[in-house]
Amino acid sequence: LVKLNLIKRCYSTLNHQSINGSSKISDISQSKAKYYALSQFPYPSGALHMGHVRVYTMSDCIGRFKRMQGYDVIHPMGWDSFGLPAENAAIQKQISPHVWTQSNINSMKDQLIRLNLEFDWHREISTCSDQYYKWTQQLFIKLYQQGLAYRKLATVNWDPIDMTVLANEQVDAQGRSWRSNAIVEKKDMSQWFFKITSMADRLHDDLDLLPGWSDEIKSMQKEWIGRSKGHYLDFILNTSKNSKISVFTTRIETLYGVTFLAISSKHPILKDKDFLMNTTNEKKLEISNFIQMVESNQLRNIDELCAIDTGHLVQSPNANLVRLIISSTVLSDYGTGAVMGVPAHNKQDYLVAKKLSLPIVQVLERQSSVNNNITSSSNSIESECFDSELTGKLIQSGNYSQWNINDVIDDFERKGWGKPTISYRIRDWLISRQRYWGTPIPIIHCPTCGTVPVPENELPVLLPIEVQFTGKGNILNDLSGWKQCKCPICLNNNAQRETDTMDTFVDSSWYYLRFLDNQNQNEIFSSTLANNYMPVDIYVGGIEHAILHLLYSRFITKFLYDQSLISHKEPFKVLLTQGLVKSPTYRDQYTLKPLHPSDVLTDQKPPISKLTGNPVNVTIEKMSKSKLNGLDPSEMIDKYGSDTLKVYILFKAPPENSLEWDNDGIDGCKKWLKRVDQLISNFIVEQKASSSHSQPQILDEKELKSIEFQCNQTISRVSESIENYTFNTAISSLMTLSNFLQKVSDNTKCHSIEYFKSLRTLLLLLTPFAPITAQYNWDQLVRFNNDNQLYSTQLNSINLNDIKTTSGDLNEPIITKQNWPKSIEKYQQRENLLLVVQFNAKTRAVIELPSNISEKTQIEQFVRN
Ligand code: ANZ
Ligand code: ZN
């Protein structure tokens, strides 16, 4: 009961502390260096899952550590609260998305508080609040004014039952909607885009400014941007000297190996007058049937290649005549939508050539090549074609045979056969959603003035709250009271509001800036604050956001930089991507249905289903509702307490690895924290007992030295481990220290200031991981020391710096306000080292040697002895 009360007190001090302990919004600490620890804010689905707990525990640990180190730390939390699930809940449960979202936020916030995470709650934001989305709208208008937000016709996934556009990720492999199960249609609609392509080069090149990002994520970003250097080349339609087809190639030097020209089924030449005039009716019919087939299939996963000859010939820059074909391998929206086919050196072209029996001409010399004339009848052609090393010389290329590739490229360019260019895979960011629960796009459509941005003083364009959900499409379209308005330019004209809302990725592309100034009524954020606190020092989150969210945030940051609102080019200095949280998953061997662990007799081999008596398969999988293998964080807090849960999560696996949940492991962590409690309470009990009778005996100098050595070594190890985000090794160093302290002799425990100080060091180092345990025991020590005036005189008489850095300020009752201990070099050197001699994996001798001699001398000495 006493402990419970104490814990309660801890909570209140901690809550109080998190307001006072972190910087207030408006003032920047002049004396402290800043540290911005950010974890990805959650979607308020209703309850935290273990993945959330893992992310937030990591950023909490880092934040607490940096605060104790004296940094001005920002560790904010908020809600990514727009999006489809709220609308679906509204349709299914007839509850307003607003109410549903808010109640989810409330319960998740409760959970975060119960986890005792030190968040700056005074910085809280919610993207669905008009105080937030007002600024998202302003950001849209700024982009619009710079020509970076625009509307164009685009082909989208249309769900004819729900009557909405779907993101690609919401269409399954069979081309069905994830929600309505309708076959999704391709539809051309006017949509809003952000011109992210305008920054493709910067988004690519500035990755080099980020040594704190893993190569893996950087290459995922580069892949998505897909920059390649190449050439445009023109091919001329044989029947019409005016009709050119331009191709994009990264391998212009293979020009003499071109044996066909392939275009996509959407290529404009297919509607060209000359082209059609010279196509027979029979061929026209064949082509249109083909196009129809490709396009209906084109939704996804066309494994089977389809290609057709158009019956036309085209002339290459080097005056070769080759066939013009249409092929499903050519993407309509990459490069020019046309490809020069080089089947000898490109796998896809090779398959196309095989399919249509087109010639294959090798033009690059291979090291191992004996036979330069590949014919399509050769069986081993595939391996011969692509696997062997090239010499960098051309063959079968007219006058260019035996030339070096680079010289060829120069000469082709000089002749005007190809124009150098750069092509990108990245497309502009489609931000329109035909959905209610999102940030309204602040645009008015006027019959006279066209698209007109809502004047800034009229922002936010509020989302109407009282609405009826029909489940069909975007209900903003049916709210004529909301939709009809006056044009802000010609004033009297009846105009209409844009009814599309923004992709929720827009909301999350700038939230880290609003955290810094969430109460600002006058501007999106203060540049002074942003320039002080940005960039984010550590960003913790899931790998699933490694591409889009990071790319969008980087794009918006660069835009704000161009607007001179911020002075940094990249938002996130270091990324920490956490692995999955997994647990045993039980499935009935016969029905394959997932089973709840409580329905399984797990002590049997194999486990047996209590429901059917069938044997049960066990696999370790990502925790998820559908697999019934998830653990509820609240239940875990009830059962173990937040400290144990957090210590376990950090101890069980390094951050980037997946964490496989096991109950023994968490029990072990609970026991360890109990042992720390015992260490302190035993100390106090023994002190009380000894002070009443025994005389201090002579202290063992050697033991005192080794206490100091252990303490200082642990300080360095824990500090380094947190800096490197290897929390698990930090905790194991702490375990080593606590075990060591347990074994110290009773005499030293009772009579040495070194031991007292080392207990305090242990608690200080424990604080970022298990703040309640640390605080509880700190209280015990402070109270005991005050009551007994045990070490105060001694502590006062010794070097104050020593105490400050190794065992904290004596009378400060709140441990999180203590300074992080610093290790002292001189105590980290052992006078003697133990040299372990092993032979055939058996220890044969342990020799004590002075530590200041070299390894070589040590060995020599040993051999001599
Ligand atoms: C001739 C060639 C020869 C090619 C060769 C490659 C190898 P990256 O590097 O990804 O940019 N290509 C161009 N446009 C295409 C489209 N719309 N759909 C499908 N493929 C297209 O790829 C550039 C290469 O992809 C280009 O270089 C072109 O094939 C093909 F030995 O041209 B290449
Ligand atoms: Zn107008």
Burial class (CB in 10 A: 0-12, 13-18, 19+), 529: buried
Residue with the smallest CA separation from ligand 1 atom 25 is: 249
Q: What is the mean pLDDT of the chain?
A: 88
List beta partners, residue 622.
582
Q: Is 337 in the pocket of ligand 1 (CB under 6 A)?
A: yes
What is the model's pLDDT at position 380? Answer: 45
**Atom number in ligand 1 closest to CA 329:** 19
Proximal ligand: closest to the CA of 261? 1
Rounded mean pLDDT, 323-338:
94
Give the rounded distance of the alpha carbon of 524 from its chain centre: 25
Q: Which amino acid is at 173?
A: A
Proximal ligand: closest to the CA of 488? 2
**Atom number in ligand 1 closest to CA 337:** 17
Which structure tokens are listed for 392? 């960098």
> Which among 128, 178, 133, 134 is positioned nearest to 157, based on CA atoms?
178
Residue with the smallest CA separation from ligand 1 atom 11 is: 228
Q: State the distance from the centre of ligand 2 to the C-alpha of 455, rounded, in angstroms.
A: 13
Proximal ligand: closest to the CA of 363? 1
Q: Is 250 in the pocket of ligand 1 (CB under 6 A)?
A: yes
Q: How confident is the model at residue 255 (pLDDT cuts 50, 70, 90)?
A: very high
**Atom number in ligand 1 closest to CA 335:** 14
Residue with tokens 């710079």: 146
Contact yes or no for 108/42 (Cβ under 8 A): yes
> Which among 554, 669, 495, 508 is positioned nearest to 80, based on CA atoms?
508
Interatomic CA distance for residues 686 and 90, integer angstroms: 63
- Domain architecture of the chain: domains with CATH: 33-133+506-514+527-578 (3.40.50.620), 149-194 (no CATH), 228-423 (3.90.740.10), 581-622 (no CATH), 659-827 (1.10.730.10), 832-864 (no CATH)
Q: What is the tens place of the pLDDT at every residue in 344-394? A: 999 999 999 999 999 999 999 887 644 544 443 444 444 445 556 788 899
Q: Is 473 in the pocket of ligand 1 (CB under 6 A)?
A: no
- SS3 of residue 480 by DSSP: helix
Q: How confident is the model at residue 813 (pLDDT cuts 50, 70, 90)?
A: confident
Q: What is the tens place of the pLDDT at every residue in 564-604? A: 999 999 999 999 999 999 999 999 999 999 999 999 999 98
Q: State the distance from the centre of ligand 1 to the C-alpha of 345, rounded, in angstroms.
A: 11
Q: Does the pLDDT at position 9 exceed 60? A: no
Using the Cα atoms of residue 603, residue 605, residue 606 and residue 611 in order, give the sign of their dihedral. negative
Q: Cα separations (Å) of 432 from 13, 154, 460, 483?
A: 46, 11, 18, 17
- SS3 of residue 601 by DSSP: strand
Residue with tokens 């994520």: 217
Residue 297 backbone zone (phi > 0: left; psi -120 to 50: alpha; other: beta): alpha
Q: Which of 441-445, 490-494, 627-631 has the highest mean pLDDT?
A: 441-445
Q: Does the pLDDT at position 194 exceed 50? A: yes
Q: Is 228 in the pocket of ligand 1 (CB under 6 A)?
A: yes
Among 223, 253, 346, residue to substitute to test ligand 1 (most atoms within 8 Å of Cβ): 346
Give the rounded distance of the alpha carbon of 467 from its chain centre: 35
Q: State the distance from the centre of ligand 2 to the C-alpha of 58, rounded, in angstroms.
A: 53
What is the model's pLDDT at position 300? Answer: 44
Q: How confident is the model at residue 691 (pLDDT cuts 50, 70, 90)?
A: low
Residues with CB under 5 A from ligand 2 (ion): 446, 448-449, 487, 489-490, 493
Q: State the distance from the centre of ligand 1 to the C-alpha of 248, rounded, in angstroms.
A: 7
Interatomic CA distance for residues 194 and 499, integer angstroms: 17
Report residue 260: phi and psi, to 5°.
Answer: -165, 165
Which structure tokens are listed for 737? 């220290």
Q: State the distance from the centre of ligand 1 to the C-alpha of 251, rounded, in angstroms.
A: 8
Contact yes or no for 265/345 (Cβ under 8 A): no
Percent of the chain residues past pLDDT 90, beyond the cut: 69
List alpha helices for 606-662, DSSP H: 633-640, 642-652
Q: State the distance from the centre of ligand 2 to the C-alpha of 452, rounded, in angstroms.
A: 8
Proximal ligand: closest to the CA of 496? 2
Q: State the distance from the centre of ligand 1 to the C-alpha of 252, rounded, in angstroms.
A: 10
| Percentages (nearest 5) of helix, strand, coil residues in the chain | 45, 20, 35
Residue with tokens 């002590």: 603
- SS3 of residue 171 by DSSP: strand
Contact yes or no for 64/771 (Cβ under 8 A): yes
Q: Is 402 in the pocket of ligand 1 (CB under 6 A)?
A: no
> Which among 828, 789, 786, 784 is positioned nearest to 805, based on CA atoms?
828
Rounded mean pLDDT, 40-54:
96
Q: Is 265 in the pocket of ligand 1 (CB under 6 A)?
A: no
Q: What is the tens place of the pLDDT at every residue in 432-469? A: 998 899 999 999 999 999 999 999 999 999 999 888 88
Q: State the distance from the centre of ligand 2 to the C-alpha of 442, rounded, in angstroms.
A: 15
Q: State the distance from the centre of ligand 1 to the C-alpha of 323, rounded, in angstroms.
A: 18
Proximal ligand: closest to the CA of 259? 1
Radius of gyration of the chain (CA): 34
Percent of the chain residues past pLDDT 70, beyond the cut: 89
Interatomic CA distance for residues 471 and 86, integer angstroms: 12
At a CB cut-off of 8 Å and minimum separation 6, what does 387 contact? none
What is the model's pLDDT at position 807? Answer: 53
Q: Is 334 in the pocket of ligand 1 (CB under 6 A)?
A: yes
Interatomic CA distance for residues 457 and 450, integer angstroms: 20
> Which among 322, 326, 328 is positioned nearest to 342, based on CA atoms?
322
Residue 564 backbone zone (phi > 0: left; psi -120 to 50: alpha; other: beta): left
Q: Is 254 in the pocket of ligand 1 (CB under 6 A)?
A: yes
Interatomic CA distance for residues 144 and 138, integer angstroms: 10
Interatomic CA distance for residues 764 and 741, integer angstroms: 15
List alpha helices for 359-418, DSSP H: 381-386, 405-415
List alpha helices for 693-817, DSSP H: 701-723, 727-742, 746-751, 753-766, 771-788, 792-797, 800-807
Helix axes 663-692, 727-742, angle to 10 degrees: 40
- SS3 of residue 305 by DSSP: coil
Q: Spell out where 513-612 has E strands.
A: 538-542, 575-578, 581-588, 594-595, 600-601, 608-609
Q: State the distance from the centre of ligand 2 to the C-alpha of 457, rounded, in angstroms.
A: 18
What is the model's pLDDT at position 388? Answer: 62
List alpha helices for 69-185, DSSP H: 84-93, 97-114, 130-145
Burial class (CB in 10 A: 0-12, 13-18, 19+), 817: middle
Rounded mean pLDDT, 291-299:
71
